[in-house]
Amino acid sequence: MSRFIKHLKSYQFAWRGIVLAFKTENNMRFHLVAAILVIVLNVALQVNKTEWLITLMWIGLAWTAELFNTAIETLADRVTEQQDPLIEKTKDLASGAVLVICLAALICALIIYLPYFLQVISSLQK
């Protein structure tokens, strides 16, 4: 099998992993709904190109963090399902990484959207 074919095959495995995460993980579905809401909000508020790029990067970071978290939890559960302090710590750290990304995304969303919301409120009061 040529290197190119092997490379293309790796994309098939990657897509399978992404689809599996959205099918089986509630948190991934939550992130999908949040991403759709952000995209709708971006369109409705007519945000600029830079703000589009920032929000899309945060969506990608949140999805990536959740995929890594899910992979770590799945592997940890395969190692042992018994209580193990190191596995518990590992899962908590991975989950914490997702939370940090999501909180940072939320702060950026407030920075981006607050001026738009204030402008809308101001125009409604006139």
Of the candidates 113, 59, 68, which has an alpha carbon nearest to the alpha carbon of residue 90? 68
Range of the domain at 114: 3-125
Q: What is the pLDDT of residue 65?
A: 97
Do 97 and 65 touch, CB atoms closer than 8 A?
yes
Instruction: Tell me the whole-structure pTM to 2 decimals.
Output: 0.87
Domain count, the chain: 1
Read off the CATH number of the domain in which 27 is found: 1.10.287.3610
pLDDT in tens, 66-99: 999 999 999 999 998 889 999 999 999 999 999 9
CA dist., res. 67 & res. 71, Å (int): 6
